[in-house]
Amino acid sequence: MANLWLKIRIWTKIIVVTAIVLYVILFTYKNAQFRVELWYWFNHKPETNLLLVVLCTFLAGVIATLVARTTLKTIHQVQELQDRARTQKMGRDMADIRAKAAMLQTKAPAPASPSPEPPAKATPSPIETLEDRTQM
């Protein structure tokens, strides 16, 4: 049964390709006979056959499509590159922030300095001297 479907598929492809080839031959024969005036610039109208005009138009369309596709791909690649650069910069910034935070967390506290003693009084105040005398 699979062999039958394979034969049907092959014959279908052969018929389609043959029809396309016959159409191209007929198209070429019929359009090669027609003469047309082609305008491409002011005061320039050369007379040529229709087949050449159709062929040139087709090639111009193919080239325009390739240029447009290439342009769109390039724009997409530039945007992707900008996004990637932005992401890398944000990653570097986050790494810097984390490094600074780690430095702040591991920083040893300053050693506790002994509390300074009040300076010795060189001369007693008059009130103190009076108190000292009364206690004696």
* Segment 90-110, tens digit of pLDDT: 999 999 999 998 888 765 666
The residue segments making up the domain with residue 33 are 11-106
61-87 residue pLDDT tens: 999 999 999 999 999 999 999 999 999
Per residue in 66-90, is it b (16+ CB within 10 Å) or e — as a string?
eeeeeeeeeeeeeeeeeeeeeeeee
Asked if residue 121 is part of any domain, the answer here is no
Residue 70 domain-assigned?
yes
The total number of structural domains in the chain stands at: 1
The continuous run of DSSP H or E covering 37 comes out as: strand 35-37
Question: Does residue 119 lie within any of the structural domains?
Answer: no
On whether residue 55 sits in a domain, the answer given is yes
Question: What is the pTM (predicted TM-score) of this model?
Answer: 0.48
In a domain, 127, yes or no: no
The token pair at 29 is 């024969």
CB distance 5 to 14 below 8 Å: no
42 within a domain of the structure (yes/no): yes
Residue 6 belongs to some domain of the structure: no
Non-local CB neighbours of 46 within 8 Å, separated by 6+ positions = 37, 38, 40
Q: Is residue 4, in this structure, part of any structural domain at all? A: no
Structure tokens at 16: 């389609």
